[in-house]
Amino acid sequence: MSASKKAPTTRTRVGKYELGRTLGEGSFAKVKFARNVETGACVAIKILDRDHVRRHKMVEQIKNEISLMKLVKHPNVIKIFEVMASKTKIYIVIEFVDGGELFDKIAKHGRLKEDEARTYFQQLINAVDYCHSRGVYHRDLKPENLLLDSDGVLKVSDFGLSAFSQNIREDGLLHTACGTPNYVAPEILTSKGYDGTASDIWSCGVILYVLMAGYLPFDEANLMALYRKILKAEFSCPPWFSRNAKKLICRILDPNPLTRITIPEILQDVWFKKGYKPPQFEQEDDVNLDDINAAFNDSNSVEHLITERKEKPVSMNAFELISRSQTFSLDNLFEKQTVGLVKRETSFASQCPPNEIISKIEEAAKPLGFNVHKQNYKMKLKGDKSGRKGQLSVATEVFEVAPSLHMVELRKTGGDTLEFHKFYKTFSSGLKDIVWKSEDGAEEPR
């Protein structure tokens, strides 16, 4: 079999949605770009394997995640539209946000100007305040979980670690340790229970610090050393922080959750109030969760299940295919790479034969300590060292869009996003010989 995959000759339909490229994937789910064929609207669809979910006893956790997202209807929170199921998969249809992660702005600029950081922080507080009013605590707030739409509006995503008010015990506290170490509140580390409201506020403070400084307030290679700093709130603000910004951050990063600033107090803070715009939206009181229960019901009758079906596409040549897809955009094809700016996924064009592309990727990955597993036109790269969020793993795939033109996609499937950025910077330098140069000399990857 050829090492490259032809541009697809069929399209996959799920209900009224036509599936497109993969936006991301992890241990339990894959996220695909999709289009509503009735309205033309773009969405993202999270696809879960039913058997996988059952085997790992994650049904209740995932139902909880979806229910939380349906409860929260806010302009700064990712929307969930509907849930569907086939015999083998669960499909969660969510808002497609095309402006990338807030993390990418930090990776590109190092740090944001204070006014820009304040605008994003105001939107974050608006979202968190609304979530708390609905009894929802995020518990894993960090820049990677904050997306931007094409207008630069912040959207909170990834409720996989959220807690619902029903998870609170008789002492009024949450007891499940979770979150990303650098952003986690000190009270979570003590295992004595914590208030979800106060812990989310702490994480918002760390995010504000990162936006303005370009680096973390608490960052140690040794996990115990990191925990000690967090427990004592040992940090210092860089000199470019304004006096009022420092004052607010110190009140947020208070290691005592009982004296830590609250959201009503943040809303009255002098620094926070500058240029503040309250969110404008209509609250929906009635939330229908019937589709969630139906999707996870093992006794579903056939008529309630949808099917994946293949359909022949409209006839198009390779360059029409490229121009219709965001990943294969001609604008991106000739756009010069901004050094160091790589998201969780990236792609590049090559005019080399597929076997040469595969060999070059393997040649570039192995010296960096990556094990390579090949299967036809796909490769899995897995780091042999464990980073701050486990081993870094990358999926690659080669597509043939014309006899002399290939597209190579790379996606982070495990590990830390910042480590992926660092890996890619070195890795891409080993691919220069196979990357297609446009007429003006600009190169991919992008």
Read off the pLDDT of residues 402-444 as tens digits, 9 standing for 90 and up. 667 777 888 887 777 777 777 887 888 888 878 876 444 444 4
Q: Which residue has the higher pLDDT, 237 or 49?
A: 237
Domain with CATH 1.10.510.10 in the chain: 102-273
Per the confidence metrics, is the pTM higher than 0.85? no
Helices 196-213 and 243-252 sit at what angle, rounded to 10 degrees?
A: 150
How far, in Å, CA of 331 to CA of 351, rounded?
18
Task: Give the active site residue among 104, 129, 140, 269.
Answer: 140
| Listed residue (13, 178, 32) closest to 92, CA to CA | 32
For residue 337, is pLDDT > 50? Answer: no
**pLDDT at 317 (0 to 100):** 46
How far, in Å, CA of 127 to CA of 117, rounded?
15
CATH fold for the domain made of 9-96+289-311: Phosphorylase Kinase; domain 1 (3.30.200)
In Å, how far are 121, 243, 382 from 239, measured between CA atoms? 20, 9, 40
Tokens at 1, concatenated: 């079999």
pLDDT tens readout for residues 343-402: 566 777 888 888 888 888 888 888 888 888 887 667 888 887 766 566 788 888 887 666
Q: Do 395 and 384 touch, CB atoms closer than 8 A?
A: no
The secondary structure element, H or E, covering residue 272 is helix 270-273
Centre a 10 Å sphere on the Cβ of residue 405 and count the other Cβ atoms it contains: 17
How far, in Å, CA of 169 to CA of 316, rounded?
59
How far, in Å, CA of 192 to CA of 49, rounded?
35
Domain with CATH 3.30.310.80 in the chain: 318-429
Q: Do 183 and 171 touch, CB atoms closer than 8 A?
A: no
Could you list the residues known to form a binding site for ATP, using ranges.
Answer: 46
pLDDT tens readout for residues 175-216: 344 446 788 888 877 766 556 788 889 999 999 999 999 888
For residue 156, is pLDDT > 70? Answer: yes
Question: Domain 318-429 classified CATH 3.40.50.2020?
Answer: no
pLDDT tens readout for residues 21-41: 887 766 567 788 899 988 888
- Judge whether 51 counts as a catalytic residue: no
Backbone torsions φ then ψ of 42, nearest 5 degrees: -90, 135
**pLDDT at 376 (0 to 100):** 66
**pLDDT at 72 (0 to 100):** 72
Question: Domain 102-273 classified CATH 2.60.120.10?
Answer: no
| Listed residue (391, 337, 350, 336) closest to 368, CA to CA | 391
For residue 269, is pLDDT > 60? Answer: yes
How far, in Å, CA of 254 to CA of 142, rounded?
18
**pLDDT at 434 (0 to 100):** 80
Could you list the residues known to form a binding site, using ranges.
Answer: 46
Burial class (CB within 10 angstroms; exposed 0-12, middle 13-18, buried 19+) of 60? exposed
Q: Which residue has the tokens 């503040």?
A: 276
Domain with CATH 3.30.200.20 in the chain: 9-96+289-311
**pLDDT at 207 (0 to 100):** 93
For residue 133, is pLDDT > 50? Answer: yes
pLDDT tens readout for residues 54-103: 776 777 777 776 777 777 788 888 888 888 888 888 888 888 888 878 87
For residue 320, is pLDDT > 50? Answer: no
DSSP H helical segments within 150-195, as ranges?
186-189
**pLDDT at 341 (0 to 100):** 39
